[in-house]
Structures are given as structure tokens and as C-alpha cells.
Amino acid sequence: MMTHVLGTYGKGKTKELMVEEFIKYAKQNRIKALLKTKTIKNHFSKMSILWAFYEKKKLIDRGSNVFKDWSFGRKLKGDGYKAWSEDDLQKLIDNPWPPGQISDRTFGMIVGIGSYTGMRLVEICRLRKLDIINTKGVWC
């Protein structure tokens, strides 16, 4: 349920709503600024600490900490980029660049650098001569 709660829960004109009502309100109004997993983990961590404090003070039953040992699942790390297919690369190489804007040689270098390094276009375009060095016979 926490993953469906908006980041603005408890603030503004909706602060009087219960969680379930707030989720319905968000769906009806197509609001998508939900709590991030990291935020939810932080909330659970803080609540677990508070719960443990109350256990030590004997204000609640021992071993009843619902915020302890919670599993949020693992998310695979990755930057979300997909590799270019062979066909797409071939299309880039084979198709002529619009004349008069950028030379074929420059276009070829951009495609080559992008293919070799995986750099984004903006990163390639910001390269300076001094950024490219030769290390043990390999240009980097």
C-alpha cells in the first residue's frame, strides 16, 4: 500500500484524508508523484527504531515490531540503457548525413565513438581534444 501513497500525503488540502481515501483521491485525479522505495525504507527504519524504544520501555509487547525484517524485494541495478541492435547501427552507418550540416567524417566519428564507448550524444559532443589519450596503443 505504501508504494501507492503520494509524496504529498499529509500536506495541503488532503491532509485530513486517511491513507485509503488519499490513494483513491490520487487515482481519481491521476496524480503520479508516489513515494519512492527509498523513502518507504527510511520510514520503516525510523518506525522500527521507535518501536524498539517502546519495547525497551515496556509500553508495547516484545517481539511485536511489524517494521522489523521487512523485505522490499531487490531491484536490479542498471542504467536502463539498451544496446543498439546490429541493424540500427548499420542504418546509422549506411544512411547519408544531411549535407551542409555536419561532415560525413564527423558523423562517422560520432557513431564510432558512441558504438565503442557507449557514450551518449551530449557526452560525445562535449569531448575536447585533450580528453582523448593514447594508453598503451589504445585510444581512450
Asked whether residue 4 carries a pLDDT value surpassing 60, the answer given is: no
- What pLDDT was estimated at residue 76? 57
Q: Closest by alpha carbon to 59, among 68, 47, 67, 50? A: 50
- What pLDDT was estimated at residue 75? 62
- The tens digit of pLDDT for each residue in 30-47 reads 766 667 777 778 878 888
- The tens digit of pLDDT for each residue in 72-126 reads 666 656 556 677 788 887 887 787 767 777 777 888 888 888 888 888 888 888 8
Q: State pTM to two decimals.
A: 0.39
How many Cβ atoms from other residues are within 10 Å of residue 127's Cβ?
14
E strand or H helix at 56:
helix 37-56
The helix/strand/coil state of 95 is: coil
Q: Tell me the C-alpha distance between 102 and 99, whole Å.
A: 7
